[in-house]
Amino acid sequence: MRSQPDLRLNFLCAAVLAAMAVPAVAQDAAPAATTLDKVNVTGSRIKRADVEAALPVTIVQKAEIEAQGITSAEQLLSFLNIAGNGADGMVSASVDMDLGELRGTAGVSGANLRGQGSDATLVLLNGRRVATHGLRGQAVDLNSIPFAAIDRVEVLRDGASAMYGTDAIGGVINFITRTDYQGISVNAGFDATQHGGGNIYNYSLLGGVGDLDTDRWNVWGTVNWRRSEFLRSHQRDFANSFQPDRGVSPDTRGTPFATVTNATGGIINGSLIDPDGGSKQNYVNILNLPGGAGCENGGPAMGPYDYRLWDSGSSKYACAWDYPAAQALQQPQDSLQFLGRATFLIGENHRFYAEAMGSRVKSEREYEPLQLTSSASLTSVMGPGTWYPLNGNTKQTYDQVYNALAAYFGTANLTYGNPIPYRWRCMACGPRQIETTTKSYRLLAGLEGSIGSWDYDVGVSRASNKAESVLRGGYYFSSGLRDVLGSGLLNPFLMPGQQQSAAGMAALQAASASGVHLYGGESTVTTVDASFSGGLGFSLWGSEAQLATGVEARREEFEFGGVQVLDGLPLNYNTIYQAPFDETSELPKVHRDVKAVYAEMYLPIIDTLDVTVAVRHDRYDTFGGTTNPKYSFKWQPIQSLAFRGAYSTGFKVPEFTKLFAGVNRVDYFGRDLVDPASCPGGSVNSSIPGCDLIQPVIVTGGKTDLQPEESEQKSIGFVFSPADNFNLSLDWWEIERSNTIRVPNLATLTANYALFPDNWIRDSSGKVTAIDQRYINSGGTLTRGVELDANLSGELAGGRWQVNLNGSYIDTFKEKSLANEPYGENKVGEYVRFYNLPLKWKHTLGFGWARGDWAHLLTQVYRSGYKDEEPVSVEGGFYTPANWNPDVDDYITYNYSLTWTGLENTRFTFAVRNLLDTDPPFTAHQVDFASGAAWEPRVADPRGRSFNLQVEYRFD
C-alpha cells in the first residue's frame, strides 16, 4: 500500500495497512515527473502536486483492497493499526442487550481512530458528510458505504476540526469513489470458515457509459450485495465460560432444568439448612444434590454453579448454564448498496456532477432465551401467580422436586402444596431475536472547475439514515406468559429428551410478541458548501503562496420513536417481558443549523521550510460559535530527511440524544449511600448522626445545557528516505480532550459534593429524594502514542519483493472525572470494560513478491497482551482460582494471499486468513457488560481459519 509521505507532524507513512501491500510490491513510488497534476488530499483544501510530502495521510488503493479479498469497510478498518479496539463492530458490539447507550450497536459498524471513539472520528464519502446512524445519531455506519464503488480510502491521522468542523478529533476517513467508468465489471466471492459458521458471500456489478474526453459526459453505477452469516458461540470451543479454575464461570442459576429459589410463600419455609456445614441454602438445583443426576445431565451447557467464584455460599447446590454459548459471536447481516454518478463537461474548465447513494442493511441480534426468576412481589410479572403449582397436571414433577429436597434437607423447612418459585432458562421460549433494518441515502449535486488560476467546488447534498428494530422470536406478552406459567402447562423441570406439552407450547405461542415494533429513528443532514483555492500571486523565499477558503451551511435533524402502543396498550419492559423498549428516549424531530467559514494558507517560507495555517469558525444556533486553528510545518534540510509537526484544536458537539433524551427515574436499592452534606465521611453508619442509609430515586436522561467537548492535538516526527527502495517514518502524537460529556458516577458526586450540590435533589425538609445523574460536561482524557512505518523493496528471482512494517504504540491513556483534578493512572495495557481497550503495541509485518501475472503476500498481524480483568472473587479478595493468570497473552495471526491475472480481463484472488488457525487468547472476561466470554472480541477474530476467493471479470 502507498501512504502519502506527509510533512506535517504526523508523518505519512507508507501505509498503516502496511501488510496490505500486495500490489505495492509492483507499485513503488515513481520518480517525480516534470509535470504533475495538482490534486486534493483529505485534510487540506489546497490542491498540490507534492501531496506525498504534505499531509499525514494513509492512502489505501483499490488494488490493495482487492489483493486482500476485503469486501467491506469494517473489514478494511480491522487491518488499520491506527484503529482503536472499541465495541464498534459486528463482532465486538454483540453485547447482551439493546438498552440506552448500546442501542446504536444494532447492526452498526463504526470507525474508531486512535481509540477516540466512533463518535469522534469523522467519516466522509467523496469529501462530504453522510448521515449518522438513525438509532442514536452518534456515528456513521460503515455498512452504508458503497464499498464496491471505492477507488481509494484516505485516512487522515490527525485532528481536522479546522477543516471539517465537529467530530474530527481522532482523525478522518474519506471513502473516495471513482469519478468515471466505461464498460461492465462483475465480481463474486466468498470467505468460508474451516470450522463452519460466519461465512461471507458477496456479489457486485459495475457499469458505465460515456467518454468524458470525446462525449463530454459519463454515467456509471454499481450495485453490491453482501451476506455475513451467523457465527454462534457454541461453534467455537474457545468461547467456553465453564473454566472456573481460570476465573470464568457463568453467573446465572437460571438453567434449562430449573433451580428452586427461596421466596416467601413458596415451597421453602425459611431457609434450607445444609447438613454438611449448617449453611443456609437459598438456591438449590436437585440435580446437584448428593446422589443427584449431576448438573451436567440437566441439558447442554449446564454445569455446577461456582459459588466460591461469586461469593454466594447460599448457592452451593445450584447449577449454572453457559448462556454466552447461546449468543452470537458474529451477527448475521445482509446488505444491498448502490451508488451512481453522472458527470457532464461544461466548456473547457467546468463540470457538473450528480451522485446518488443508497443502501439497505438488515441485521439480527440473537441472545439466549429468557431467564424467568420468581418474585414474591404481587405486582411483578413473575409474581406468586406464576410459580410452579401443585395440580393434576404437575403432581408427578412437583413430587419429584419435593422428595429430592426432603431427602437431603429434611421436611422441617418445606411446605408441601405451596408453589415452587424458581429460576429457569426457558428453552421452550426460544432465543431472543431483534431484527434491525437500516435504510440510508445521499443525494449530491455540484459544480466544479477553474476560473483563471483558482479552482472551485460548489455542492448541495442531503443524506439520511433511517433504522427500525422489530422483535422477532423469544419475546412474549407478559399477561399471556403469566397465564401459561401459572397453569403449570409449561414444566421448568424437564430432563433432556422430555418435551413440553402441546397445550403448553400452544399457549406460549399465543403470547408471542414477534413482529412488534421496538423502536426506530432517523438522522438527516442537508448541506450547502463552496470552496475556492489558488495561488496568491506572490512568493516568499520558496514557491508561490497558496490560499483555500470556503463556506458551509448545514442542517442536522434527528428523531427517535421509543414510545410504542398496541391496541391502546403502552408497550414497555413489563408489558412484553424483558423487551428492551426505550420509551424514555422518545424524541420528536429536532434540528440544529450550522454555518461555517474557513481558510487555509500555505506559506513556503524558504526552499526547505513551509508552513500551513488553517482556521475555521463554526456557529451553531444552539451553542454559539467556536473557532479552531491548525498550524503545521515541514522542514526538509536534506533531500532524504524531513521533519514535520502540527498543533490544532478540535471540538465535538453533543448528540441530540444526550441533549434531549427523556428523563428516566428508577429507585436505588444499594446500601452504600449517605447524604454527603451531613456525612462528609461518606460511609453508612447509623450510630453517627447524619450518616444513615439513603435510597433515593436516580434520575437519568438528556440535558439541554450540555456544551461541546474540546480537544488539543499535537504531533511531531520525521521521514527518512536514504534510497529509492527504503523509507522510514516515526511520529509522536498527543490528543487531550476536555469538557468531556459523561454520566457522573455516584462516587464522584459524593466525593465532590461541593461542586455538585444541585445534583442532590431535596424536599422541603432538606431530605435527599433524588440524585441527578444526567449527562454533564466534566473531566477529560489524555492519549499519547507513536506511529512507525518502514518499507524496503528490491528484486529477487525475476520479480519484485517488498517488506512493510507498520506499528502503533500507545504510551498513555489517562482519564479524570473533574476538570480541576489530576489525571488518574495510566490504563495502557490494562483491561478496560467499556469502549476502547488501549493495547500498548499493534503491528502488521508483510512480505510480498510479485512476478508477471502472480503476486504473493504473507503478513503477520500482532496485538500485544494486557493485564486481565480480575474475577469478582480475586477483586474482592475472598478466593483466587487455582489456574488464574493475571496476564492475557499476545494475539498473533498470519494471512496469505495470492493474486493471478493471467486470463484476459480476469482477476483471481485467493487468500487464507488466520493461516495457523490461532484461537483468541484466554481472558477471564465475563459476557454480562461486553461481548465475549473467555475471549476478547475487541482484539480477536472468532472466525478462525477461513478461505477467501474473489473473481472479477471485465467486459470490454
pLDDT in tens, 46-77: 776 555 455 678 888 898 888 888 888 888 88
pLDDT of residue 88: 63
Alpha helices (runs of H) in 489-543, residue ranges in sequence order: 502-510
Cell numbers given for 823 = 489525571
CA 455 to chain centre: 38
Q: 255, 302 in Cβ contact below 8 A? A: yes
Q: Report the distance separating Cα 913 and Cα 488, nearest Å.
A: 51
DSSP-derived letter for residue 61 is: E
572, burial (CB in 10 Å: exposed 0-12, middle 13-18, buried 19+): middle
Q: Report the distance separating Cα 408 and Cα 415, nearest Å.
A: 15
Q: Report the distance separating Cα 881 and Cα 93, nearest Å.
A: 29
Q: 802, 25 in Cβ contact below 8 A? A: yes
* DSSP, residue by residue, 387-415: SBP-STTTHHHHHHHHHHHHHHH-STTB-
What are the C-alpha distances in Å from 526 to residues 142, 461, 546, 597?
19, 6, 30, 17
What residues have CB less than 8 Å from 133, skipping those under 6 apart? 104, 108, 139, 140, 141, 438, 465, 467, 523
* φ, ψ (nearest 5 deg) of residue 847: -125, 120
Q: Report the distance separating Cα 357 and Cα 875, nearest Å.
A: 51
pLDDT of residue 874: 87
Q: At what angle do helices 502-510 and 478-487 cross, to 10 degrees?
A: 160
Q: Report the distance separating Cα 457 and Cα 353, nearest Å.
A: 11
Q: 292, 404 in Cβ contact below 8 A? A: yes
498, burial (CB in 10 Å: exposed 0-12, middle 13-18, buried 19+): exposed
CA 699 to chain centre: 27
Q: 311, 878 in Cβ contact below 8 A? A: yes
Cell numbers given for 291 = 446422589
Q: Report the distance separating Cα 99 and Cα 661, nearest Å.
A: 13
> Which H or E run includes 851?
strand 841-851
689, burial (CB in 10 Å: exposed 0-12, middle 13-18, buried 19+): exposed
* φ, ψ (nearest 5 deg) of residue 284: -135, 125
> Does CATH place domain 3-232+331-366+435-471+517-657+709-740+778-955 in 2.40.30.10?
no
Q: 398, 388 in Cβ contact below 8 A? A: yes
Q: Report the distance separating Cα 620 and Cα 343, nearest Å.
A: 34
Q: 388, 257 in Cβ contact below 8 A? A: no
Instruction: Provide the 10 A C-beta neighbour count for residue 427.
Output: 20
Q: 262, 286 in Cβ contact below 8 A? A: no
Q: 829, 814 in Cβ contact below 8 A? A: no
pLDDT of residue 89: 58
Handedness of CA 922, 923, 928, 932 (dihedral sign): negative
* φ, ψ (nearest 5 deg) of residue 128: -130, 155
Residues 391-395: contacts with CB under 8 Å, at least 24 apart: 391/488, 393/487, 393/488, 393/489, 393/501, 394/488, 394/491
Picking from 166, 136, 167, the residue whose alpha carbon sits closest to that of residue 661 is 136
Compute the 3-state secondary structure of the chain and give helix, strand, coil in percent, each to the nearest 5. Answer: 15, 45, 45
Q: Report the distance separating Cα 503 and Cα 492, nearest Å.
A: 15
Q: 248, 273 in Cβ contact below 8 A? A: no
Cell numbers given for 380 = 411483578
What are the C-alpha distances in Å from 700 to residues 585, 703, 759, 777?
11, 9, 11, 15
Q: Report the distance separating Cα 762 and Cα 445, nearest Å.
A: 56
Q: Report the distance separating Cα 46 and Cα 38, nearest Å.
A: 9
3-state DSSP assignment of residue 551:
strand
Instruction: Provide the 10 A C-beta neighbour count for residue 879.
Output: 17
Picking from 472, 491, 490, the residue whose alpha carbon sits closest to that of residue 480 is 490
Domain(s) labelled CATH 2.40.170.20 in the chain stretch across 3-232+331-366+435-471+517-657+709-740+778-955
Residues 274-281: contacts with CB under 8 Å, at least 24 apart: 274/316, 274/317, 274/409, 275/408, 275/409, 279/313, 279/314, 279/316, 280/314, 281/314, 281/315, 281/316, 281/317, 281/409
Instruction: Provide the 10 A C-beta neighbour count for residue 597.
Output: 15
Q: Report the distance separating Cα 68 and Cα 898, nearest Å.
A: 9
Instruction: Provide the 10 A C-beta neighbour count for residue 699.
Output: 16
What residues have CB less than 8 Å from 158, skipping those under 6 apart? 8, 9, 10, 43, 55, 56, 171, 646, 648, 713, 715, 733
Q: Report the distance separating Cα 370 and Cα 255, nearest Å.
A: 10
Block means of pLDDT (10 residues each) for the chain, 956 residues, are: 35 30 32 47 73 69 87 86 70 49 62 89 93 88 90 90 89 92 96 96 97 96 96 91 91 94 94 93 96 93 91 93 89 94 96 97 92 92 96 96 97 96 97 95 97 96 96 96 96 95 97 95 97 91 89 96 84 90 87 96 92 95 93 94 94 91 83 90 86 92 91 94 94 95 87 90 95 92 95 95 95 90 93 84 95 96 94 84 94 97 96 97 77 85 96 92
What residues have CB less than 8 Å from 948, skipping those under 6 apart? 69, 189, 190, 191, 192, 897, 909, 910, 911, 912, 913
Tens digit of each residue's pLDDT (9 = 90 or more) over 756-785:
999 999 999 999 999 999 999 988 999 999
Q: Report the distance separating Cα 554 and Cα 527, nearest Å.
A: 4
pLDDT of residue 108: 80
448, burial (CB in 10 Å: exposed 0-12, middle 13-18, buried 19+): middle
